Amino acid sequence: MEGNSTSRSKKFRILIILAMVATLTVGFYFATGSEVRIEVDGKTDTMVSYAKTVGEFLEKEEIKFKEGAFINVPLDTKLEDNLSIIIINQKPYVVKERGVSSEINSIYDTVGDILNEQGVELGELDYVTPDLKEKVTPDATIEIFRVKEEVVVEESTIPFEKETKDTNNLDKGVTKVVQKGKEGLKHTYVKNKYVNGKLVSSETEKEEVVEKAVNHIVHRGTRVPKREVATASRGGSSRRTSGGASRGSFNARRSVVMEATAYDLSYQSTGKRPGDKYYGITASGMKARRGVVAVDPRVIPLGTRLYVESLDGTKDYGYCIAGDTGGAIKGNRIDLFLDSAAEVWRFGRRKVKVHILK
């Protein structure tokens, strides 16, 4: 009996000890919290908490964060030792583009990261201030500069040069245009740079001659004219050139050396086209034709009969009538009507002797 009593007593003591150990273990568990590392906007602290989740921990510790803040772990994450919680609140910034400012919020503090978060894309030539790699403080202004380059082609004329060449094929004092000058054409390639839509620089990249200029060439006579011999003629005087072919006899009141040009019915000569009012009609009302010439009426009255003699050895224009005028025909100038633009071009400008007939 005594042995059984002793055995029961030992078992009872063991049960009491086990119960005490269990109680101490549970008590220790509830008496010891979780050690947590918390970082808010770069400020770090270590705290012991008895909360079960991250959300409960933040609420109990009254750790505030703004809407849109970054939290590295979900709020329902179980709290445990050595857990690291990082919170980054959004900060206000101003983004300016083409003069328009926008207020934004971002968890980042580097210019490039801020713009990337906002979905701002930069072109190859675009740039920002401050630089993309720079860190900025809250309320800082980030300005975006949009850059565009384009090459434009500018057309310009190349002026022609004037050449005067002496020739013994023309009488002295007589000039003849043997080649009309023509302007050339040049292309200039210019690179324009625009920043936010405004032109900031222009740079010539290259120049290209598309069409060369054609020099204006005039022949100037050096030949001494053959001496004229006057012969008697009833009612006036007639002229013939010594050693030259006879032009026939005519009575001239007087003779004048004039500067002669030529014109035809082309638009370039008259400024009119077929169908236009007064097309082909001269100032005197006569039809424009060979043998009708334009003069200055103050020098030669309209209706006057003339004989136009060549001074450069070419064929005389011959008998004609003063029947037209012209804006450029002033003083001792005469404009001879020819049948085609090709004849007009070949005639050019030259000296002639105009005999005013009786």
**CATH number of domain containing 163:** 2.20.230.10
Rounded CA gap, 110 and 87, in Å? 17
Shared domain check, 194 and 123: no
pTM (global) more than 0.75: no
Shared domain check, 191 and 246: no
Please classify residue 181 by burial: count the beta carbons closer than 10 Å to its beta carbon, then call 0-12 exposed, 13-18 middle and 19+ buried: middle
Task: State whether residue 202 is helix, strand or coil.
Answer: strand
pLDDT tens per residue across span 250-274: 788 899 999 999 999 998 888 889 9
Strand partners, 92: 105
Say if CB 260 and CB 349 are below 8 A apart.
yes
**Domain span at 198:** 151-218
Shared domain check, 176 and 163: yes
Supply the CATH number for residue 335's domain.
2.40.40.10
In sequence order, what DSSP letters do the residues of 296-326 get, joined into one string? Answer: -TTTS-TT-EEEEEESSSSPP-EEEEEEE--
Q: What are the tokens at 355?
A: 């005999």
Shared domain check, 74 and 49: yes
Say if CB 319 and CB 245 are below 8 A apart.
no
Shared domain check, 300 and 258: yes
Domain termination residue (choose one: 46, 62, 87): 87
Shared domain check, 229 and 351: yes
Shared domain check, 208 and 99: no
Shared domain check, 178 and 56: no
Tell me how long the chain is: 358
Q: How far does CA 91 lie from the centroid of its chain?
A: 43
Domain termination residue (choose one: 166, 201, 218): 218
Shared domain check, 63 and 76: yes
Shared domain check, 342 and 258: yes
What's the domain count of the chain? 5
In this prediction, residue 327 carries a pLDDT of: 87
In this prediction, residue 102 carries a pLDDT of: 93
Rounded CA gap, 33 and 51, in Å? 8
In this prediction, residue 16 carries a pLDDT of: 65
pLDDT tens, N- to C-terminus, the chain (358 residues): 555 555 566 666 666 666 554 444 444 444 568 999 999 988 999 999 999 999 999 999 889 888 888 999 999 999 999 999 999 999 999 999 998 999 999 999 999 999 999 999 999 999 999 999 999 999 999 999 999 999 999 999 999 999 999 998 887 778 888 899 999 999 999 999 999 999 999 999 999 999 999 999 999 888 875 544 333 332 334 444 433 334 556 788 899 999 999 999 998 888 889 988 889 999 988 999 999 999 999 999 999 999 999 999 899 999 999 999 988 899 999 999 999 999 999 999 999 999 999 7
Shared domain check, 177 and 163: yes
Supply the CATH number for residue 64's domain.
3.10.20
Supply the CATH number for residue 140's domain.
3.10.20.90
Residues 6+ apart with CB under 8 A from 192: 149, 150, 151, 152, 199, 201, 202
Residues 6+ apart with CB under 8 A from 21: none
Rounded CA gap, 38 and 57, in Å? 10
Shared domain check, 349 and 330: yes
Say if CB 113 and CB 70 are below 8 A apart.
no
Domain termination residue (choose one: 71, 87, 103): 87
